[in-house]
Amino acid sequence: MITREEIEYLAKLARIDVAEEEKDKIQKDIGNILEYVKKLEEVDVSQVLPTAHALDILNSVRDDSPVPESSSEKVHERRDILESFPEEENGYLKIKEIFQ
């Protein structure tokens, strides 16, 4: 169980003001959380493999291989984008300023 002094200490560390009537509720809530954590510590997980993801999937990514800039498909794609964009400057797409 967590003590009232520990609640006051945590509030001081967090630099928050806790009203006297809130301290009892916080003490009870944190006590309940710590009890639940204590129950979880009793569970045997020695046979459970560590996981990084809840689902058994692999990353689906493309190969990271360079595409020559001179590829005619890329040149046409870039030209189409530049032609359809409202403003262009020195080969870059120009957008409106968002920070002033």
* Confidence (pLDDT) at 25: 94
pLDDT over 80 at 46, yes or no: yes
* DSSP annotation of 9: H
Fold held by 4-41: Histone, subunit A (1.10.20)
From the DSSP assignment, how many helices (H) and strands (E) are in the chain? 3, 2
pLDDT over 70 at 84, yes or no: yes
pTM over 0.85: no
